[in-house]
């Protein structure tokens, strides 16, 4: 059992490094490693993944908040539908077989892999219906950024991201960040704002999964501590690494995981 715990911490540590260097959410690897390597039921892997993301996104939220890079007003209009849909998505997992959830996750993972390998293959279209509002942010470097997002755009994509997060155990950053970029929000501010959204949304989903008994406390502790430690190291070495080729290799690796998950689900 001790060897299993050491392996779990080590895997989470390297996931944290990769996630930090490549700018992807660790959830894309939390669920498959918990399921394929440690044999957790897909429902428990999804719930545990969301709980892990709560801790990792809290760390990021505090950091970005101190930097002054979070557009709080925009975040609110993403969070409101995202939380509701995250709860719905989390509740839906109680009525779906684990094998089906694995297939749903595999499809979602394939989309992420294609986005990494061919960025233009997946895009978040702008929804221009309805009124806009003014949002302003001034960071610690005295950069003042103004954006004018659309209410409907943020709320629709926030709801979609929340539902996918609840049902797959992956943070909604893959939806939130492109949605914010499409309203001309700079990338660093979009990531910061998305991190706050992910924290609140993952917390709501994790609480539902906890009530459903879809959390493994042991792996939650191992993966949370390991991934956070890895993220700190990754943040320090990221500027020294050319991530372009690493991203391509990671995208191919994700496609391989998709194959393994599909084979296991249908076997």
Chain-centre distance of CA 175, in angstroms?
Answer: 9
pLDDT tens digits, 80-92: 999 999 999 999 9
| Range in 152-156, 225-229, 249-253 with the lowest mean pLDDT | 249-253
**Dihedral, CA of residue 180, residue 169, residue 8 and residue 258, to nearest 10:** -90
Please tell me which of 83-92, 105-114, 172-181 the model is most confident about, judged by mean pLDDT: 83-92
Which distant-in-sequence residues (6+ apart) come within 8 Å of 60 by Cβ? 192, 195, 199
pLDDT (mean) for 117-134: 86
Mean pLDDT taken over the chain: 90
- Under the banding of pLDDT at 50, 70 and 90, the label for residue 122 is low
**Dihedral, CA of residue 251, residue 183, residue 76 and residue 52, to nearest 10:** 10
The pTM score is: 0.92
Of 27 and 224, the structure prediction assigns the larger pLDDT to 224
128, burial (CB in 10 Å: exposed 0-12, middle 13-18, buried 19+): exposed
Q: Rounded to whole angstroms, what are the CA distances from 78 to 50, 73, 151, 216, 235? A: 18, 9, 9, 29, 27
Using CA atoms, how far apart are residues 138 and 150, in angstroms rounded to an integer?
A: 20
- Under the banding of pLDDT at 50, 70 and 90, the label for residue 165 is very high
What is the pLDDT, as a whole number, of residue 24? Answer: 73
DSSP element (H, E) containing 146: strand 144-147
What is the pLDDT, as a whole number, of residue 251? Answer: 87
What is the pLDDT, as a whole number, of residue 142? Answer: 87
- Under the banding of pLDDT at 50, 70 and 90, the label for residue 143 is confident
pLDDT (mean) for 91-101: 95
Kindly state the percentage of the chain with pLDDT values over 90.
Answer: 64
223 backbone φψ class: left, alpha, beta (φ>0; ψ -120 to 50): alpha
**Radius of gyration in angstroms for the set of CA atoms belonging to the chain, rounded to a whole number:** 18
What is the pLDDT, as a whole number, of residue 23? Answer: 65
CB atoms within 10 A of CB 246: 13
* Total residues found in the chain within this entry: 267
pLDDT tens digits, 240-254: 776 677 788 888 999
pLDDT tens digits, 38-89: 999 999 999 999 999 998 888 888 888 988 999 999 999 999 999 999 999 9
What is the pLDDT, as a whole number, of residue 60? Answer: 84
What is the pLDDT, as a whole number, of residue 214? Answer: 96
What is the pLDDT, as a whole number, of residue 239? Answer: 63
pLDDT (mean) for 129-147: 92
């Amino acid at each position: 059992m001790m060897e299993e715990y050491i392996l779990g911490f080590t895997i989470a540590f390297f996931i944290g490094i990769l996630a930090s260097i490549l700018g992807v959410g660790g959830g894309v690897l939390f669920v498959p490693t918990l399921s394929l390597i440690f044999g957790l039921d897909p429902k428990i892997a999804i719930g545990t993944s969301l709980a892990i993301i709560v801790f990792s996104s809290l760390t990021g939220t505090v950091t970005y908040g101190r930097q002054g890079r979070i557009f709080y007003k925009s975040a609110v209009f993403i969070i409101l539908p995202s939380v509701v849909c995250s709860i719905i998505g989390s509740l839906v997992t109680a009525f779906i077989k684990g094998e089906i959830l694995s297939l749903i996750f595999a499809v979602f993972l394939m989309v992420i892999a294609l986005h990494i390998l061919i960025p233009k293959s997946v895009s978040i279209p702008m929804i221009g219906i309805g009124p806009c509002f003014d949002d302003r942010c001034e960071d610690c470097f005295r950069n003042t950024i103004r954006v004018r997002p659309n209410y409907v755009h943020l709320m629709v994509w926030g709801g979609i991201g929340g539902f996918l997060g609840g049902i797959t155990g992956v943070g909604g950053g893959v939806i939130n960040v492109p949605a914010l970029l499409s309203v001309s929000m700079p990338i660093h501010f979009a990531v910061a704002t998305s991190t706050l959204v992910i924290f609140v949304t993952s917390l709501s989903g994790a609480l539902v999964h906890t009530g459903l008994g879809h959390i493994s406390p042991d792996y939650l502790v191992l993966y949370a501590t390991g991934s956070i430690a890895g993220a700190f190291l990754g943040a320090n070495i990221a500027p020294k690494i050319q991530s372009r080729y690493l991203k391509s290799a990671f995208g191919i690796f994700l496609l391989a995981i998709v194959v393994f998950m599909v084979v296991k689900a249908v076997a």
